Structure 1
Amino acid sequence: MMKYAVVTGGSKGLGAKIVRNLLENNVYVISVSRGENEEIAQLKQVNNYQFFRCNLASPTEISNVFEEITKLVFSPETEGIYLVNNAGVIDPIETAGNLNDEAVLRNVQINLTAPIQISNLFLQKAKETNIPLMIANVTSGAGERPVHGWSLYCSTKAGINMFTKTVSLELENHQSPIKIFAYSPGIMDTEMQQKIRSSSEAAFAEIEKFQGYKEKGMLRSPQVVANALVTLMMEKEIENGKVYHVNELL
């Protein structure tokens, strides 16, 4: 019997560390992103890792790629499946009234529509096959408070939080064993933080605070954050619909 994990945005940042950690825990990992992480590709064991290229800004591409993935993971030999909706974008960092339409649509598609679309498919397959499923949606503290210049990021993360809670309610009402939760990783030393620090003060009012996080060594390692998530998924009793914060787990 095999345990599978499907991780979106698995090529860099937190996603890459989640992939590495799951591989170390003898889970068969499927990494999904626009490009493959070369270090993971070189380290991978042939029998427990696959990479699927997918542009999560395209609903059609998501449908095609994830249909293939579900055929692989929802099999009679599968013991359980973890779905980690990790992929996300911070752009556009800009005040409302100055937003680019194309950037708005891309942000909503990647941060909110894609994880809903993927989760919906996995929920369908899990109900059809009775294979245990756990969904982890990576969110942000920005989904719980307004941040000047982050109207899209705050809104989509708030949306993923409410989607998680609503699906949990539906599962509970149907007495389903499927688990779903959200995970807020806090501030990490990743490319996303670099983008945040390089934005303008006019677009992002808290830029000096975030620059200070880096200068004062306050950014947490993605490895530490990934370890906390994987430990939560594999070793803890999950409270359905809960938004877990990394500070609670370390």
Structure 2
Amino acid sequence: MPPTQLFILTGASRGMGLAMAQQLLKPHHTVVCIARHSNPDLTAAAMASDVALEQWQQDLSRGQAAAEHLRTWLKKQAPDAFTSATLINNAGVIPRITPLSDSDPADLANALRVGLEAPMQLTAAFLHATADWAVPRKVLNISSGLGRRAMASQAAYCAAKAGMDHFTRCLALDEAAKPHGAKVCSLAPGVIDTDMQVQLRGAPTADFPDAPNFAHLKSGGLLTSPADAATRVLAWLDRADFGTQPVADVREG
């Protein structure tokens, strides 16, 4: 069989995640997508391109179950089945846009589980299961500028992304101490024209003081399309120096 690269991607059913999945459907790639819903267009594209694709329907608020599924699947693969292995933690949600004092506890818990807990659990499972693979391994965490800049009424999302940045810094130290450690990076992809942007610019100003700023990004043509953002993120993943900066921003490259 020809050499095959493995890519595992969360949040692949829509937005930039879907665009990344579409761009990863190339010859000699095996793509595993993890999301609450499968995407029939991805299935059709994979069949047309004769690319190995699996879509796991998994609620990432149940990160432990997702991690156990991933660990079990990876353990069944032959250590020499792939020439490289990459995990891309892309999934994330924003809870109801409101000050923390008015937030619903279950909503906050869901945002932190999907945006921080699940990426940590999946990363642990991925690295443990592939520890003996003699191939390059990478972990790309999709972060946000809001992990590095506070914003009113978005405490849970900002906290999840800040946590993602910092656990990636810790992980980089762990992996650097290993003979064949993985390369890791928490990458902010820029401001993208997704459903999340629709939520932010449509929020009442009384609840979300930054709503006019997000509306201006749209009206001013300052948003990146999901496809263009995916191209820039995957280009960063392919850089020879990937991982030298554990926390980075595509706009600074």
CA contact (8 A) 1:74 1:125 kept: no
User: Structure 2: any 5+ residue segments left out of the alignment?
Assistant: none
In the other structure, the counterpart of 2:227 is 223
* 1:76-155 superposed matches below 5 A: 76-155=80-159
From 31, 34, 45, the counterpart of 2:33? 31
Deviation of 1:25 after TM superposition, in Å, equals 6.2
Task: Please give the secondary structure, in 2, of the residue aligned with 1:5.
Answer: strand
Deviation of 1:196 after TM superposition, in Å, equals 1.1
How far apart, CA to CA, are the structure 2 residues paired with 1:173 and 1:237? 18
Deviation of 1:58 after TM superposition, in Å, equals 1.0
- The reply on whether 1:187 has 2:191 as its aligned counterpart is yes
Deviation of 1:124 after TM superposition, in Å, equals 0.7
TM-score, length of structure 1 as denominator length: 0.93
Task: Please give the secondary structure, in 1, of the residue aligned with 2:153.
Answer: coil
Task: Please give the secondary structure, in 2, of the residue aligned with 1:102.
Answer: helix
Task: Map Cα deviations across residues 39-74 of structure 1 (whole Å, 9 max, x no partner).
Answer: 212211354211111100113431343234324556
- The reply on whether 1:58 has 2:43 as its aligned counterpart is no
In the other structure, the counterpart of 1:174 is 178
Bigger drift between 51-60 and 136-145 goes to 51-60
Q: How many pairs are equivalent?
A: 249
Deviation of 1:218 after TM superposition, in Å, equals 1.0
In the other structure, the counterpart of 1:157 is 161
TM-score, length of structure 2 as denominator length: 0.92
How far apart, CA to CA, are the structure 2 residues paired with 1:134 and 1:73? 17
CA contact (8 A) 2:20 2:230 kept: yes
Q: Percent identity?
A: 24
Classify 1:135/1:167 alpha carbon distance in 2 versus 1 (closer, same or farther; 3 Å). same
Deviation of 1:194 after TM superposition, in Å, equals 0.9
How far apart, CA to CA, are the structure 1 residues paired with 2:251 and 2:155? 24
Deviation of 1:132 after TM superposition, in Å, equals 2.4
In the other structure, the counterpart of 2:205 is 201
How far apart, CA to CA, are the structure 2 residues paired with 1:120 and 1:23? 25
Task: Please give the secondary structure, in 1, of the residue aligned with 2:61.
Answer: coil
Q: CA RMSD in A?
A: 1.7
CA contact (8 A) 2:25 2:51 kept: no
Bigger drift between 232-241 and 213-222 goes to 232-241
Classify 1:128/1:151 alpha carbon distance in 2 versus 1 (closer, same or farther; 3 Å). same
Aligned-partner residue type, residue 14 of structure 2: K
Aligned-partner residue type, residue 36 of structure 2: R
Task: Map Cα deviations across residues 113-158 of structure 1 (whole Å, 9 max, x no partner).
Answer: 0000000011111223344210000000001111011111111100
CA contact (8 A) 1:166 1:241 kept: no
Bigger drift between 76-85 and 54-63 goes to 54-63
CA contact (8 A) 2:29 2:51 kept: no
From 11, 16, 19, the counterpart of 2:18? 16
